[in-house]
Chains A and B, each alone.
Chain A
Amino acid sequence: MELFKSDTNFDFMALRKVSLTLSAILCVIAAAIIFVRGLDYGLDFTGGTLVQVTYEKDADIAEVRKAVEDHGFAGAVVQSLGNTKEYAIRIKPHEGDADAAKATTDAAKPAEGEAAKPADAASKEADKLAGEVLKALKTARQDVTIHSSSFVGPQVGEELRSDGLVAVLFVILGIMAYLWFRFELRFAIAAVASEIHDTLLTVGIFALTGREFDLPALAAVLSVVGYSINDKVVVFDRVREIFRSSRKGEPYEILNRSINSTMSRTIMTGLTTSLAVGTLYFVGGPALQNFGLIMLIGIFVGTLSSIFFANPVLLWLGVSKQDLMPVTREDPELARRP
């Protein structure tokens, strides 16, 4: 069985002006969406309040969710604690509260000796919120009691967020160094450019869905980086190979041939990986849904950019046959000996 004819020779590079322009526009739009609209950071990042409630008689999760949302707690996460009587409700701080909580933590920073105070204030805040949640739930059902309420610190999120950023930077620099060493600087630049392109678009599309960006989502974004670099490296490898083996070495022609001859692998791997992460999205349960969705978007974007973005950038940067020839040895006499 073959999905693609082996002798396909589509002139992808002819589209390069269109595809690069389109990519650039999409990147700008994605960046705008991310910065203007922002990501809906999950509790892991923002901090908030966790309230556990117990019903005397069985309660339906949809019923609980409705009761909470009807009273102004939009975006509250309701989870069953294993039965139909106990639920955990996670509430993000209100817009105003978020700023207030931030202000208290900021104020606490210079005076470390008073670090305990914001925690106290926060736990009071949690109690207050818990009271409001109880009131909201009581309007729907009377047989509900608060089991416990606790405060999830937002500063934890700050730290994790910066850790994630450092991780991404490290990964990008490491990949660049490796590609520079194994290929050539232009390949490294093209790879990192497509990396940034893929990440921006993936996160941008995810932001459009309005879903909560949580820790698994961050892990997924970082996996997208890994996946898409894999994809590009395979094509680049072919570029290097054909450059070295062909006599003429016309970059335009060679890049086209590389894309065409790796095309069926590119699509195949994209399909198998999508099958795998697709199951996470569809059957992995709510906890893995975001991970699956971001990976699916990322694989789609990454596959397209391997074809329409990475190689045009490479051509634009002016890659040539000389750049890729194995370094000739110091003494040509020595090399000629058997």
Chain B
Amino acid sequence: MNEFPRWKYALVVLALLVGFIYALPNLYPKQRAVQVSANRGATVDVALKEKVQGILESKKVAFTSIDLTNDRLLVRLADPNQQIAAGDNLRSELGNNYTVALNLASTVPSWLAAIHANGMPFGLDLQGGVHFLMEVDHASVIEKQEAHYVDEVKNIAREKGIRGISANRGAQGVVITARSEADREKISAEISRSFGSEVVLTNGATTGDAFGLNLRISPAKLDEVAKNTISQNMSTLRNRIGDLGEPVIQQQGNSRIVVELPGVQDTAAAKRLLGATASLEYRAVDEAGNALDVANGATPPADAKLYKLRESGAPILLKKKVIASGDDLVGATAILDSQSGTPGVSVRLSSRGGDRMLEFTMQNVGKPMAVVYTERIPEVSIVDGKEVKSSRVKEEVISVANIRGVFSSQFQTTGLDSMQEANDLARLLNAGSLAAPVDIVEERVIGASLGEDNIRKGLVAVLIAVGLVVVFVGLYYKMFGLIADVGLLLNLVLLVAILSICQATLTLPGIAGIVLTLGMAIDANVLICERIREELRNGSSPMAAISGGYNKAWATILDANVTHLLAALGLMAFGSGPIRGFAITLFIGIITSMFTSVTVTHVLVGLIFGGRRLKSLSV
């Protein structure tokens, strides 16, 4: 009656085994570390490792090890003071070619890391770090879009031969004036044809021979632009701060971005990276000069400049004259080219940029053209006790492609190796045309030691909570209570394992979620045990009581848990930040608790009581 087929036992054992393995990495504490990664143009190699070792030894900073992995140096240190000392010394000695960041390093053994078993990353509240709330300046986005429409309207008027059309940005969108009623209707029709529902046109005031026409960007288009702006800015930011450990970049509302850098203590460095501006330029490749020679010290041709390719670092000579710049770029999207079947990037330029591109491509079919990505990173240094603001410029060529034919504002770069590459290029192009400036509206630094205190208290809370519930339930339901306790502990293991697999960030509210889940998880077993008692009271045999208890309790457990799941889902969907972290823990906890408190305990009961003749039950 309470026995199960072999596969069910096997499944339970398998689930628990996987649970244990993936929960295991959380037992390895994180170690303080300083991470050194190269900026473009510099390399991280054995020589640098020796240099770093030399610097640390000469400054008498005690470190436990220096590892060279994935183009990064990881210096592990014993305590926070050494970590800060190491960071400061390395930063000043290595200079601008390297990014030095304070970080926490994992001590998980390699066999666990190999099967992607990693501990949960800790949130800001647990490990300290910096938190920024950034607001996108939508006004400037609208401004840029309107400027684009001004250009386009002039373009249309010229193409269609409508004379005397003027277009300017006004307080309420773009103001277009025509010389006659007929011209106004004509241009209005042409604009509608080109842009469709992107814009809303209304006739404006008429004074003398000036017939006004107002163009406003439609709400739907504004919405779309706002969305694109946010996602563009987010990928730009992600691109820039990827070097700083495990950043969290989240959208909040439709104009805010939350950037969290757990483990990072240096606000100034973070701000510098976040405040950097990027731009983009299309330039012709100089094929007359020899890039290698120039790289080795030869004088470059007067109209050319030496650049490096982003990927390979190979030198390349480019003409100084810019064909089109990031200001001209309206958008770039990754595509799959229908003709060649290869991934590519479709680029849209403004009409001004398109004109210059048309002119250039007419004369240069078959020749290569390069895209240069420039990043300006503001820096503040102290000279003679005064703050001196300067900026460091990072320039690199992100793509070189041959011009296949004549084109203007709309063109494609095809023949890329993979869709991933196409996506990356599109992202970089968009990032280069950084959609809108972002302002930091909120900034918080959370001390690492405060985090340690939180972790300790949180852990103690979890342990005490588990202990109390285990003892109480064991006393109250005796044997069945102990079985429920095993289920509860396994639930904790599974919950931690799933959170680790999902790499959910563990936060303080998340810990609250775990504790609450543990308190409520026992509910299912309480329901089952109470039912078994009832069945026994009604005169059922022990085995029938067990199976009746499980069967009858199941409907209740299901109803109760589904409603609870709904509550967790609501929190997950609408909550943000810490509330979300809490809801995710709760959600996973409800599901794992259903498995452990019903299936696992039933299997255990089957193993213990199955095949025996029972006279009474200990419940």
- Do B526 and A268 touch (CB < 8 A)? yes
Q: Counting CB contacts under 8 A, is B299 at the interface?
A: no
CB distance from B130 to the nearest CB of A (A): 11
| 5 additional A-B residue pairs with CB within 8 Å, beyond A83-B449, A167-B571 | A156-B442, A171-B570, A272-B520, A273-B519, A276-B516
Q: Counting CB contacts under 8 A, is A189 at the interface?
A: no
Which residues from chain A contact B582 at a C-beta distance below 8 Å? 216, 219
Could you say which of A63-71, A94-102, A228-236, A323-331 contacts chain B?
Answer: A228-236
The 29 sampled A-B contact pairs (Cβ below 8 Å) are A1-B475, A82-B449, A82-B453, A83-B449, A112-B139, A115-B137, A115-B139, A119-B439, A148-B267, A150-B443, A159-B253, A167-B571, A171-B571, A219-B509, A219-B575, A222-B567, A233-B559, A233-B560, A234-B560, A237-B559, A272-B472, A273-B523, A276-B469, A277-B515, A280-B465, A284-B512, A288-B457, A288-B508, A291-B509
Which residues from chain B contact A9 at a C-beta distance below 8 Å? none
Which residues from chain B contact A82 at a C-beta distance below 8 Å? 447-450, 452-453
Q: Counting CB contacts under 8 A, is B569 at the interface?
A: yes
Could you tell me which B residues sit within 8 Å of A by CB distance?
A: 125, 133, 135, 137-139, 252-253, 256, 267, 439, 441-445, 447-450, 452-454, 457-458, 460-461, 464-465, 468-469, 472-473, 475-476, 478, 508-509, 511-512, 515-516, 518-520, 522-523, 526-527, 530, 533-534, 537, 552, 555-556, 559-564, 566-571, 573-579, 582-583, 586
- Do B138 and A112 touch (CB < 8 A)? yes
- Do B512 and A216 touch (CB < 8 A)? yes
Taking a contact as CB atoms closer than 8 A, the residue among B530, B537, B570, B579 that contacts A174 in the complex is B570
CB distance from A195 to the nearest CB of B (A): 10
Tally inter-chain residue pairs, CB-CB below 8 A: 229
User: Complex formed: what's the CA distance from A275 to B527 in Å?
Assistant: 18
Q: Counting CB contacts under 8 A, is A80 at the interface?
A: yes
Which residues from chain A contact B571 at a C-beta distance below 8 Å? 167, 171, 219, 222
Given A152-B442, A283-B464; A81-B457 close (CB under 8 Å): no
Which residues from chain B contact A264 at a C-beta distance below 8 Å? 530
A258-277 interface (Cβ within 8 A of B) = 261-262, 264-265, 268-269, 271-277
CB distance from B580 to the nearest CB of A (A): 10
User: Complex formed: what's the CA distance from A69 to B100 in Å?
Assistant: 40
User: Complex formed: what's the CA distance from A186 to B75 in Å?
Assistant: 65
Q: Counting CB contacts under 8 A, is A160 at the interface?
A: yes
- Do B511 and A167 touch (CB < 8 A)? no
Taking a contact as CB atoms closer than 8 A, the residue among B125, B519, B537, B578 that contacts A6 in the complex is B537
Which residues from chain A contact B537 at a C-beta distance below 8 Å? 6
Interchain residue pairs A-B with the least CB separation, the first 8 = A82-B449, A276-B519, A226-B567, A171-B570, A285-B457, A273-B519, A167-B574, A113-B139
- Do A275 and B575 touch (CB < 8 A)? no
User: Complex formed: what's the CA distance from A159 to B579 in Å?
Assistant: 13
Could you say which of A12-20, A23-31, A175-183, A312-320 contacts chain B?
Answer: A175-183
Given A215-B577, A273-B520, A288-B508; A237-B555 close (CB under 8 Å): yes
- Do B442 and A153 touch (CB < 8 A)? yes
Taking a contact as CB atoms closer than 8 A, the residue among A170, A265, A274 that contacts B570 in the complex is A170
User: Complex formed: what's the CA distance from A171 to B560 in Å?
Assistant: 14
Closest to B570 in A: A171
Which residues from chain A contact B476 at a C-beta distance below 8 Å? 1, 3, 268
Q: Counting CB contacts under 8 A, is A305 at the interface?
A: no
Which residues from chain B contact A80 at a C-beta distance below 8 Å? 450
- Do A269 and B574 touch (CB < 8 A)? no
- Do A215 and B523 touch (CB < 8 A)? no
- Do A276 and B579 touch (CB < 8 A)? no
A residues contacting the other copy or chain, number (CB 8 A):
79
Q: Mark A288-307, 1 if CB is under 8 A from B, else 0.
A: 10011001000000000000
Taking a contact as CB atoms closer than 8 A, the residue among B439, B444, B515, B520 that contacts A280 in the complex is B515
Given A119-B439, A288-B512; A81-B450 close (CB under 8 Å): yes
Taking a contact as CB atoms closer than 8 A, the residue among B267, B520, B555, B566 that contacts A175 in the complex is B566
Which residues from chain B contact A115 at a C-beta distance below 8 Å? 135, 137-139
CB distance from A84 to the nearest CB of B (A): 11
CB distance from B271 to the nearest CB of A (A): 11
Q: Counting CB contacts under 8 A, is A75 at the interface?
A: no
Q: Most chain-A Cβ atoms within 10 A of its Cβ — which of B133, B256, B460, B560?
A: B560
Given A115-B135, A268-B476, A273-B519; A234-B556 close (CB under 8 Å): yes
- Do B139 and A280 touch (CB < 8 A)? no
User: Complex formed: what's the CA distance from A114 to B464 in Å?
Assistant: 52
Which residues from chain B contact A168 at a C-beta distance below 8 Å? 570
Which residues from chain A contact B583 at a C-beta distance below 8 Å? 219
Q: Most chain-B Cβ atoms within 10 A of its Cβ — which of A119, A234, A279?
A: A279
Given A175-B566, A264-B530, A285-B453; A237-B512 close (CB under 8 Å): no
- Do A272 and B578 touch (CB < 8 A)? no
Closest to B520 in A: A273
Given A82-B447, A151-B442, A283-B464; A230-B586 close (CB under 8 Å): no
Which residues from chain B contact A112 at a C-beta distance below 8 Å? 138-139
Which residues from chain B contact A3 at a C-beta distance below 8 Å? 476
Q: Counting CB contacts under 8 A, is A74 at the interface?
A: no
Which residues from chain A contact B574 at a C-beta distance below 8 Å? 163-164, 166-167, 170
Q: Counting CB contacts under 8 A, is A225 at the interface?
A: yes
Given A226-B568, A273-B516, A275-B472; A175-B563 close (CB under 8 Å): yes
User: Complex formed: what's the CA distance from A219 to B516 in Å?
Assistant: 11
Given A163-B574, A280-B512, A288-B461; A116-B556 close (CB under 8 Å): no
Which residues from chain B contact A233 at a C-beta distance below 8 Å? 556, 559-560, 563
- Do A116 and B515 touch (CB < 8 A)? no
User: Complex formed: what's the CA distance from A227 to B582 in Å?
Assistant: 15
Q: Most chain-B Cβ atoms within 10 A of its Cβ — which of A86, A175, A236, A262?
A: A175
